[in-house]
Chain A
């Protein structure tokens, strides 16, 4: 009996010591943002670029099973130098290619960023060029290393029982953990997930404003943005492509980037609370596809 207990203890010690050393730790995978190309070919001369921005709920201890909490299409028209952010609520009931109908955020769980990108393309008719995905820690790290982001919070937020966001109304600089909490907050808003999705779009525009302001004063600061992102990310796109995207970002004015959430109505599928995208969204997709701006 004693020998069996000793063997069990020894086994547990070995498992707890050796296993975490094999391969990357779950914490590392959850933390790093990921960049990828949706299609093998990329045409930089088409004048329009579309990037799918994904925020997943991956965190320490849950790296491989993640749902997409944030889904946004960022469009840039390189000829007019205008852009747009189109927000898709995570509970949108859509067709996932090869999987049937489900909430859009499940596409990430079932097939990774590539399946989610195909789902969004199928839904909107917009051909995506890149995807970028970030988890909780990665997002917080990037905001922290960029020394925060200035945002205008329209109403005071108290989501202490949810995301932990506690913010006053007005223009203020959000630290990394505050930005993450605000991006996740939904229970404090009557619009729930739709409101949260819109706030996430606001945050993307605020980051763009920050990029433009900093690089206007010091163009070389773009290199810091790239370095911070690359420090916390894994890439499937070249450094040149990232550099070009960054340069484009420095030339985009925040006032020239619209932030639009697709119109939806609340509903149920079985016992699941979902949102149905309104038919009026089709005209938004068409306009966005044509102009890459909103």
Chain B
């Protein structure tokens, strides 16, 4: 028995095959990248839709240290012992207050590293800083650290003053003053107690120290990472 295809059916069959072939060719052509053009990926800058905002300016830290608790003259041994503690204390102050005002996400870790447990709990409850202000802009940052010369320099007191506010045109500003009472075990300084006084400033015109006074720091756009080793000398 032979298969006989009518002429009209032959025409439809040929048309269908041609259409299928055309479709296949089209798919193959569209799925092939033009030569010389890399594949788009998440790292492609042209694909990224979010751009980073410029960080707010921050005042330069003004930190002084001095020997405390000496009835008469400081001996050379006492001066050496105190000098060895300066870098760690300066770094501690900067790390803690940067976390309080600039990088709130780091605050829990800084409190854990630099405060006793009881002091850390109390500090979290204190409401220090500008938690709801978003990123803060500081116009003045200073600290004075007294290091006890006797008994192997194991006690210190840091008094800190910061003027800050949210980085918005009409944001209210405030003055933060605090005292940290610190003690040292081996190389580990910790805050055992603190006092905080934080109050709003009347208006921006009363800021005696504008951000232009040492606006930011060399190489610092407010995105400074915390010091990994508090024992190292830092020069910021």
Task: With CB as the reference atom, state the residue of chain A lying closest to B180.
Answer: A219
A14 close to chain B: CB less than 8 A: no
Residues of the A chain whose Cβ atoms lie less than 8 Å from the Cβ of B104: none
Q: Which of B9-63 contact A (CB under 8 A)?
A: none
Whole-angstrom CA separation of A230 from B149 in the bound complex:
12
A240 close to chain B: CB less than 8 A: yes
Most chain B CB atoms below 10 A, which of A221, A231, A239: A239
Task: Select A219's contact among B66, B149, B159, beta carbons within 8 Å.
Answer: B159
Residues of the A chain whose Cβ atoms lie less than 8 Å from the Cβ of B196: none
A169 close to chain B: CB less than 8 A: no
Chain B contact-residue range equals 20 to 34
Main secondary structure of the interface of B (DSSP, over half): strand
Residues of the A chain whose Cβ atoms lie less than 8 Å from the Cβ of B148: 223, 226-227
A1 close to chain B: CB less than 8 A: no
Residues of the A chain whose Cβ atoms lie less than 8 Å from the Cβ of B159: 219-220
Task: Select B146's contact among A220, A225, A230, A243, beta carbons within 8 Å.
Answer: A220
Stretch with Cβ within 8 A of A (4 or more), from B67-75, B123-131, B227-235: B67-75
Main secondary structure of the interface of A (DSSP, over half): helix
Task: With CB as the reference atom, state the residue of chain B lying closest to A221.
Answer: B68
Chain A contact-residue range equals 20 to 34
Instruction: Give B contacts to A, CB under 8 Å.
Output: 66, 68-71, 144-146, 148-151, 154-157, 159, 179, 181, 183, 192-193, 195
Instruction: Give A contacts to B, CB under 8 Å.
Output: 145, 218-228, 230-231, 239-240, 243-244, 247, 251
30 contacts between A and B (CB under 8 A): A145-B71, A219-B157, A220-B66, A220-B68, A220-B69, A220-B145, A220-B146, A220-B156, A220-B157, A220-B159, A221-B146, A222-B157, A223-B148, A223-B157, A224-B69, A224-B71, A226-B148, A226-B155, A227-B70, A227-B149, A228-B71, A230-B150, A230-B151, A231-B71, A231-B150, A239-B151, A239-B155, A244-B193, A247-B193, A251-B195
